[in-house]
Structure 1
Amino acid sequence: MKLYYSPGACSLAAHIILNEINVDFDLERVDLKTHKTEKGHDYYEINPKGYVPALEINPGLILTENVAILPFLAQHDPKQDLIPPSGMGRAKVLEWLGYLNSELHDAYAVFFGGQLTDDEKNKAYAEIDRLLSYIDKTIGESDNEYLVDDNFGPADAYLFVLTNWSNHIHHDLTPYTHIIALRNKVAERQSVQIAMRDEGLIP
């Protein structure tokens, strides 16, 4: 398999899960401004949508969108811990992935789309805070170690990556103590450390 990625982008979640399932895979970096890969390929020819991640499963077989890629990868976990095979547990993972992708991801993405006025920034921060308040409250009311159950999974990786963007937009995460606790737990995983080092995000 090959993951097309951009450092620190949402493709980092797939990178983490690839490390978790311990398979051989290649990485190819994408410049999202020029839409060229590090090997000089036109990224639009690989993924016409133009954004990451894209997962090349076999030559010519490309899967895009985190809500598809993350469960696909997680189901290959040899320990069968990353995602329930069926039933309500799997549905809950997909529910979280859908929410993170359609709501929280979009809320952060506003800051990466161009220059914002102060008023636009304040509205965007407020929307992020609204979503994080819900997530923090939900985590706090749960008896689970992670978002869905007591096992780390793709939704946890995705939440970690998205909230990491707070560092880049000068957004304060400290009010969200349950999210921070979950982030700290995720950050300690070897799969996360390796992915972040490989993408040049940590020394």
Structure 2
Amino acid sequence: MKLYYSPGACSLAAHIILNEINVDFDLEKVNLKTHTTEKGSDYYQINPKGYVPALEINPGLILTEMVAILPFLAQHDPHQDLIPPSGLGRAKVLEWLGYLNSELHDAYAVFFGKPLTDEEKSRAYQEIDRLLNYIDQAIANSDTEYLVGDNFGPADAYLFVLTNWSPLIKHELNPYKHIIELRNKVAVRQSVQIAMRDEGLIS
């Protein structure tokens, strides 16, 4: 398999899960401004949508979209810990991935488009805080170790990556102590440390 990624982008979550399932894979960095890969390929020829991640499963067979890639990878976990194979447990993972992708990801993404006015920034921060407050309360009201059950999974990786963007946009995470506790558990995983080093995010 090959993961097309951009350092620190949402593709980092897929990179983390690839490390978790301990398979051989290649990485190819994408410049999202020029839409070329580090090997000089036109990224639009690989993924016409133009954004990361794209997962090449076999030559010419490409999977895109976080809500598809993360469960696909997680189901290859040899220990069957990352995602339940069926039933309500799997549905809850997909529920979280859908929420993170359609709501929280989009809320952060506003800051990475055109420059925002002060008023637009204020509204965008309020939206991120509204979503994070929901997530923080959901964690607080849960008796499980992670977002779904007591095992780390793709939703935890995705939340970790998205909330990594808060410092980039000068957003304060400190009010969300339950999210921070979850982030701290995720951050020390070997799969996360390796992925972040490979992407040049930590030394």
- Above 0.5 in TM-score? yes
> SS of the counterpart of 1:30?
strand
The match for 1:65 is 65
Pairwise CA distance, 1:139? 0.1
The match for 1:173 is 173
The match for 1:55 is 55
The answer on 1:157 being equivalent to 2:171 is no
The match for 1:34 is 34
The match for 1:123 is 123
The 2-side partners of 1:66 and 1:196 are apart by 18
The match for 2:201 is 201
The match for 1:80 is 80
Residue identity opposite 1:104 in structure 2: L
The match for 1:182 is 182
The match for 1:94 is 94
Pairwise CA distance, 1:85? 0.3
> SS of the counterpart of 1:147?
coil
Residue identity opposite 2:61 in structure 1: L
RMSD: 0.3
The 1-side partners of 2:114 and 2:22 are apart by 37
Post-superposition CA distance 1:29-61 (Å, at most 9, x none) = 000000000000000000000000000000000
The 1-side partners of 2:66 and 2:2 are apart by 15
Structure 1 unaligned regions, length at least 5: none
The 1-side partners of 2:56 and 2:46 are apart by 9
The 2-side partners of 1:67 and 1:35 are apart by 22
| Percent identity of paired positions between Structure 1 and Structure 2 | 85
What's the TM-score, normalizing by structure 2? 1.00
What's the TM-score, normalizing by structure 1? 1.00
Residue identity opposite 1:143 in structure 2: D
The match for 1:17 is 17
The match for 2:45 is 45
Pairwise CA distance, 1:199? 0.2
Residue identity opposite 1:138 in structure 2: A
Query: How many residue pairs were aligned?
Result: 203
Residue identity opposite 1:189 in structure 2: R
Pairwise CA distance, 1:167? 1.2
Structure 2 unaligned regions, length at least 5: none
The 2-side partners of 1:22 and 1:167 are apart by 30
Q: Which runs of 4+ in 1 moved over 6 A?
A: none
> SS of the counterpart of 2:165?
helix
